[in-house]
């Protein structure tokens, strides 16, 4: 096999396995729904180690299919999910659920180390071929392979494919490499083939289970709980019970709070128009139809959840011509539509997951911000009603939402509760006209009079204070200590990082730049899997464009000039709050956002490519850059304290450190 083709294929494999692990592990280990970039951090550490120490006497790449299969078998044998354990289903009731698998303090370290080891073995194979080329050519081939990997995985997500398709691609690539001439004398071939067989067999069993469905966001499990008088189903996502599909007659007996927003309207006639954000399997639409609402816009972000509701909901609300389904992010729809409604309802929008392994954003992050509720107010007719409900069993969370509504609508919202303790459901209702509602109870501070609304810059609804929760802080500290120890044990010193300290800082800054870019595009165009894929595709294209520029320009400008231009654009992005662009039409919003977001990425990669082409040890330099990116992944959680906008300050500081260190590194490398 030609070395260029081999590097392209191996780079494709490395990126594709990383994406597949982020997606698949998160669907089987419930803890990873809340430690979003845990697998990403392990991947960066592993890839960095594989590149830095690729000259090891042991051929680690030959162990990669074996370690990958062992990881998949372990997770399949010991998944961590929440299972229903009662006779009468009550969604979100911890008392009725039991957790499977090992505890969090054991599961997370095992997963982190296993991912690190697996990715390190794959990376060693990439680095071995990477080292055969000049640095810039190797980097170009690596980026092309990674770009092909993300395009392929995006296409598979679009088709709602199950893991067997991902596994088939991985197995085919391994077979192609294992049976190439370079690997002809592979003495582990039988063990590798056995590992690939077990990997394929395990994934095909999971994929063929009739209760499992795969969307771009979740592994969805549909369990039938009762066959009479009507079929009842429990829908779980990524191992967490999420929705119940039952008739509205049963729903009214079990959970009458769904009807509260309608009961508080002074007008006895039903609302003519209704917008539902988070319509799920169709319960709210079915209730609205029972109240004779004539026009219902039902927004649901997950196409598979909608399809299951269309197929299995006993009242068939999605088949009714009065219901118009929109598969989109709720906030994005609010920003795009010019319709006004008599009622807007935020249904059970708690997604139970995060948008990707690259950010701590949840699917509903930008729905509950103060700016989002201002958009809601602007889309209500006179006397219009806005209501939100959920299983808010934390009083401070009710305070945050109610205070946000009060600050926007300038009136105290109605508050209704149903159930007790962990089953406490809360409905908050408010109107553009105070006289349009009649409520027996109004909200007053339950727990925290100082709690602030979530904002577009700090969209962490479930974070009581602007801090990093202790469990996150401890986990991230342990990750950093583990990375330091592994690097030290394998090298005997940290000389590799010291020699390329500027590239280390660049890696940390670039990962934070990716995170900020993802958050900005998610706000402007919606938190959907497609936007997520487009951002990362755009980032890789920006990287590739920078490589081509450096390759073709014979006399590039000075490094100091590039750094100065980069810092200028970072300052410009900080001075222009990203949510201002929401008021522009979509075309101008996209153009200006692309300049503000992708120009710093392009310039950052001009700097990196210019520096990288002069490295004496390209694999070591690339590995150090990736370990720096792991540090950036840890520091991404600082947004919980300072907000996403101020991440730009941290990014600018890292690039300043890189500039100050660049001259030192050049002297050491005698460039």
pLDDT of residue 417: 86
Sign, CA torsion 488/491/495/499: negative
Strand 232-237 to 341-346 pairing: unpaired
Q: Is the pLDDT of residue 611 over 80?
A: yes
User: Residue 557 pLDDT more than 90?
Assistant: no
| Percent of the chain residues topping a pLDDT of 90 | 55
Q: Which two tokens stand for residue 633?
A: 């992944």
Which stretch, 22-31, 54-63, 221-230, 372-381, has highest mean pLDDT?
Answer: 372-381
665 band by pLDDT with thresholds 50, 70 and 90: low
pLDDT at 230: 59
Q: What are the beta bridge partners of residue 437?
A: 265
Q: Residues 33-50: pLDDT tens digits?
A: 777 688 989 999 999 999
What is the predicted pLDDT for the residue at 496? Answer: 66
pLDDT of 328-380, one tens digit each? 999 999 998 999 999 999 988 765 554 444 456 777 889 999 999 999 999 99
Fold that domain 3-210+465-669 belongs to in CATH: Growth Hormone; Chain: A; (1.20.1250)
Residue 70's pLDDT is what? Answer: 97
**Residue 123: partners with Cβ closer than 8 Å, 6 or more residues away:** 14, 46, 47, 48, 49, 50, 51, 54, 623
What are the CA-CA distances from residue 321 to residues 277, 302, 328 (Å)? 18, 21, 19
In the chain, helix, strand, coil percent, each to 5?
60, 10, 30
Residue 167, CB-side half-sphere exposure with 13 Å CA sphere: 22
* Spatial distance between the Cα atoms of 274 and 655, rounded to a whole number of angstroms: 49
pLDDT grade for 217, boundaries at 50, 70 and 90 = confident
Q: Does the structure show a pLDDT above 50 at 598?
A: yes
Half-sphere exposure of 175 (CA within 13 A, CB side): 12
Contact 11, 144 (CB under 8 A): yes
With a CB cutoff of 8 Å and minimum separation 6, the contacts of 617 are none
Can you list the alpha helix ranges (DSSP code H) found in 390-528?
A: 395-409, 470-491, 495-499, 501-525
In contact, 96 and 84? CB cutoff 8 Å: yes
Q: State the average pLDDT for the chain.
A: 87
Q: Which residues contact residue 339 at a Cβ distance below 8 angstroms, ignoring those fewer than 6 apart?
A: 273, 275, 297, 379
pLDDT for residue 569 is more than 60: yes
**Is the per-residue pLDDT at 603 higher than 50?**
yes
- 273-277 and 240-245 strand pairing: unpaired
Residue 457's contacts (CB-CB under 8 Å, 6 or more residues apart) are 577, 579, 643, 644, 645
Contact 82, 240 (CB under 8 A): yes
Can you point out the beta strands (E) in 56-112? 82-84, 97-99
70-81 tens-digit pLDDT:
999 999 999 988
Separation CA 72–CA 78 (nearest Å): 10
Q: Comparing 60-74, 358-372, 427-441, 516-530, which segment has the lowest mean pLDDT?
A: 358-372
Q: Which residues pair with 390 in a beta bridge?
A: 426
- Banded model confidence at residue 420, pLDDT cuts 50, 70, 90: low
- C-alpha torsion 129→134→135→141, nearest 10: -60
The domain ranges of the chain are 3-210+465-669, 245-352+370-436
Provide the β-strand partners of residue 609: none
CA distance 83 to 436: 43
Q: What is the CATH code of the structural domain delimited by 245-352+370-436? A: 3.40.50.150
Report whether pLDDT(440) > 90. Answer: no
Contact 643, 456 (CB under 8 A): no
Lowest mean pLDDT among 3-7, 11-15, 180-184, 408-412: 180-184
Report the Cα 632 to chain-centroid distance in Å: 16
Instruction: Kindly state the greatest CA–CA separation across the chain.
Output: 83
What is the pLDDT, as a whole number, of residue 90?
28
What integer pLDDT is reported at residue 411 of this predicted model? 92
Radius of gyration of the chain (CA): 26
The whole-angstrom separation of Cα 648 and Cα 567 is 10
Q: Mean of the pLDDT values across residues 647-653?
A: 96
| pLDDT for 384 | 93
pTM of the model as a whole: 0.89
Q: What is the pLDDT of residues 390-412, one digit of tens each?
A: 877 678 889 999 999 999 999 99
CB 306 within 8 A of CB 243: no
């Amino acid at each position: 096999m030609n070395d260029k083709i081999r590097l392209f294929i191996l780079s494709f494999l490395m990126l594709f396995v990383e994406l597949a692990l982020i997606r698949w592990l998160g669907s089987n280990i419930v803890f990873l729904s809340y430690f979003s970039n845990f697998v990403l951090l392990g991947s960066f550490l592993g890839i960095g180690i594989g590149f830095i120490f690729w000259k090891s006497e042991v051929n680690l790449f030959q162990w990669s299919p074996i370690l990958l299969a062992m990881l998949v078998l372990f997770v399949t044998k010991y998944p961590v999910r929440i299972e229903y354990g009662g006779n009468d289903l009550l969604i979100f009731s911890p008392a009725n659920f039991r957790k499977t698998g090992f505890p969090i303090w054991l599961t997370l370290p095992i997963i982190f180390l296993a991912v690190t080891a697996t990715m390190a073995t794959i990376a060693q194979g990439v680095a071995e071929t990477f080292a055969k080329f000049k640095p810039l050519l190797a980097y170009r081939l690596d980026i092309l392979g990674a770009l092909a990997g993300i395009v392929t995985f995006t296409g598979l997500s679009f088709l709602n494919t199950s893991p067997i398709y991902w596994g088939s691609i991985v197995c085919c690539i391994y077979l192609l490499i294992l049976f190439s001439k370079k690997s002809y004398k592979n003495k582990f071939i039988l063990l590798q083939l056995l590992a690939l067989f077990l990997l394929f067999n395990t994934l095909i069993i999971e994929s063929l289970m009739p209760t499992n469905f795969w969307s771009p966001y979740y592994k969805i499990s549909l369990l039938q709980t009762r066959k009479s008088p009507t079929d009842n189903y429990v829908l779980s996502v990524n191992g967490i019970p999420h929705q119940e599909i039952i008739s509205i007659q049963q729903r009214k007996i079990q959970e009458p709070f769904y009807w509260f927003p309608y009961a508080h309207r002074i007008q006895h006639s039903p609302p003519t128009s209704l917008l539902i954000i988070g319509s799920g399997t169709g319960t709210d639409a079915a209730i609205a139809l029972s109240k004779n609402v004539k026009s219902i816009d039902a927004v649901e972000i997950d196409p598979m959840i909608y399809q299951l509701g269309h197929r299995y909901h006993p009242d068939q609300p999605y088949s009714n011509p009065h219901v118009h389904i929109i598969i989109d992010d709720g906030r994005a729809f609010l920003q795009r539509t010019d319709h006004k409604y008599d009622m807007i309802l935020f249904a059970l929008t708690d997604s139970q997951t995060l948008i990707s392994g690259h950010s701590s954003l949840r699917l509903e992050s930008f729905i509950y911000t103060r700016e989002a509720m201002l958009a809601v107010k602007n889309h209500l007719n006179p006397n219009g009603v806005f209501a939100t409900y959920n299983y808010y069993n934390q009083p401070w969370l009710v305070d945050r939402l109610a205070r946000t509504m009060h600050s926007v609508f300038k009136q105290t919202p109605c508050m209704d509760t149903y159930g007790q303790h962990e089953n406490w459901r809360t409905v908050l209702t408010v109107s553009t006209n105070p006289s349009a509602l009649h409520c027996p109870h109004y909200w007053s501070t339950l727990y925290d009079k100082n709690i602030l609304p979530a904002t577009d810059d700090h969209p962490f609804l479930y974070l009581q204070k602007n801090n990093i929760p202790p469990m996150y802080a401890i986990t991230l500290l342990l990750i950093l200590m583990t990375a330091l120890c592994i690097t030290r044990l394998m090298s005997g010193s940290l000389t590799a990082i010291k020699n390329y300290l500027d590239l280390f800082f660049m890696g940390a800054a670039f990962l934070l730049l990716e995170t900020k870019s993802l958050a900005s595009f998610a706000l402007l165009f919606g938190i959907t899997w497609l936007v997520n894929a487009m951002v990362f595709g755009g980032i890789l294209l920006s990287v590739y464009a920078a490589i081509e520029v450096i390759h073709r320009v014979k006399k590039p400008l000075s490094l100091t000039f590039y750094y100065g231009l980069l810092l200028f654009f970072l300052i410009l992005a900080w001075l222009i709050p990203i949510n201002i662009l929401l008021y522009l039409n979509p075309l101008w919003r996209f153009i200006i956002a692309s300049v503000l977001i992708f120009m710093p990425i392009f310039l950052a990669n001009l700097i990196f490519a210019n520096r990288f082409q002069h490295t004496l040890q390209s694999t070591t330099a690339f590995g150090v850059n990736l370990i720096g990116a792991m540090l950036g992944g840890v520091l991404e959680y600082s947004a919980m304290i300072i907000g996403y906008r101020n991440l730009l300050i941290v990014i600018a500081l890292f690039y300043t450190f890189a500039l100050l260190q660049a001259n030192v590194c050049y002297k050491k490398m005698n460039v």
